[in-house]
Structure 1
């Protein structure tokens, strides 16, 4: 049985790899890709997603541009880790167009059109689109089979501030709104993605690939891996293909959404803690079998054009 999947992302090189992975997994039926400001501004992330899907031969998958800034802030909190263009300077052609509907509206529509528990929603960027979707139609996120989020740092330091991971720091208000939505939430924090290490020889193997997608992946990763050699955004997509690659624990978590040095920090209460402010609201994935993860990603990209 194929999983019906929506991916909300902010490409970004690691998002690009997650999209290539999704396109190369035969058991995933990509309904749409929605994009948000994050690694780069919203207009760039939408075009990047379209280019990646076109490269993968997935002209059938629509891309919808979404929120240009976080809730509670006037400007997007972007970075230059992935270069000015978000793809490490790797030039990719664009043959398709970005669809007209806003990402948040399309999320509402798609989750309403499909029976509850039949759509997997993967989010690998700031959670603004998901929060807007929930605000527009409360209960929408709970209709997803799972909401799989790459974000946060529970027992490890952040990667944008000492307290916070980039996606949650970029829009902490939206992150807390998603945690409060009552969805079947799987969180892939830095605790697990810091174990998803790309070895130099694994990256180099893409350079010798006999397909355009593999070679493009190798070029992008060569520009990115020296700064952050981790498969952050591929992890939730890989879980859909093989949940046994990961292990985790139920917990209650809350995001510090206030401005200040701890903005985006996630506090988690594991087990039956008397001081927990509420019942468990997520499954936190905390460990991954990295060699098998790397093999899965490489095999999926090798299937592409």
Structure 2
């Protein structure tokens, strides 16, 4: 069983990733930390709490983290998931979240006796993780692994021609995390652009599960009108079935200075002699979409 902290910004695809983690016995979800991204952190943290309560996982704590990126005074948010971040679907008010700051929770977990066995799964902007590294240099490298949804090594961006949303939202944080020396696996648009939900998948989810599955179906139906891609499910699915994915080692750096290229991922595969520095990431490039959708369906219909 892999112990994880899920750092997220729910977001409908975050909701599916969270549901998959809860529904998978291979994963022990120790805590959920929230960051500003798809919506402001007050909304994303509340959404994480509401989702866990819906999924029958009310015992898992939720903590709010960074309210803005490192370099900007306001968060860079999106309304592609609706004003409430969950497509306007009513899932209840939820209980209260923890009073501690998310970065303190992540740092304490990594510094604790089981820190070297902990995997961090980050599916929003990397501000919380970067703040941990800034405050405690070298601590991120203690994690067993860090799985990141962000960037685009070989493809164009989805928020600007140059950049993927999470890395664009806080490019300086992405730079800090990529420079941390941690064991990083990057699930960027190169792989997430292959993970598209289908009408058959949505239909089976609506018919086969309980209240949780139906609510997730309703969110996906709204979200799918603008984006059919289940970006944030990829890192969690990797923990369950890594054989579905193909990766490539290399060196990645991020443009973090303001300008047209802000948030752009530059990647040099390991085989390239012109690689400027040693490899620092594994970039995931392919996934078996049919197998991933089957996994999602099988797990999500089990939820209460």
Q: TM-score range by the shorter chain?
A: over 0.9
TM-score under structure 2 length normalisation: 0.98
1:143 is displaced (CA, Å) by 1.1
1:298 is displaced (CA, Å) by 1.1
Match of 2:108 in 1: 109
Match of 1:260 in 2: 259
Runs of 4+ with deviation above 4 angstroms? none
Contact 1:3/1:28 (<8 A) preserved: yes
Distance in 1 between the 2:274 and 2:197 partners? 38
1:213 is displaced (CA, Å) by 1.0
Contact 1:54/1:94 (<8 A) preserved: no
Contact 1:66/1:102 (<8 A) preserved: yes
Match of 1:277 in 2: 276
Match of 1:16 in 2: 15
Distance in 2 between the 1:179 and 1:188 partners? 13
Structure 1, unaligned runs of 5 or more: none
Match of 1:59 in 2: 58
Distance in 1 between the 2:226 and 2:232 partners? 15
1:93 is displaced (CA, Å) by 1.3
Distance in 1 between the 2:115 and 2:91 partners? 37
1:210 is displaced (CA, Å) by 3.5
Distance in 2 between the 1:153 and 1:17 partners? 21
1:94 is displaced (CA, Å) by 3.1
Match of 1:45 in 2: 44
TM-score under structure 1 length normalisation: 0.98
Q: How does 1:54-203 map to 2 (within 5 A)?
A: 54-203=53-202
1:190 is displaced (CA, Å) by 0.2
1:138 is displaced (CA, Å) by 1.4
SS of 1:32 mapped into structure 2? strand
Structure 2, unaligned runs of 5 or more: none
Q: How does 1:200-219 map to 2 (within 5 A)?
A: 200-219=199-218
Residues 194-203 or 144-153, more deviating: 194-203
Distance in 2 between the 1:79 and 1:114 partners? 38
RMSD: 0.9
How many pairs align? 304
CA shift digits 1:141-170 (9 cap, x unpaired): 111111000000111110000000000000
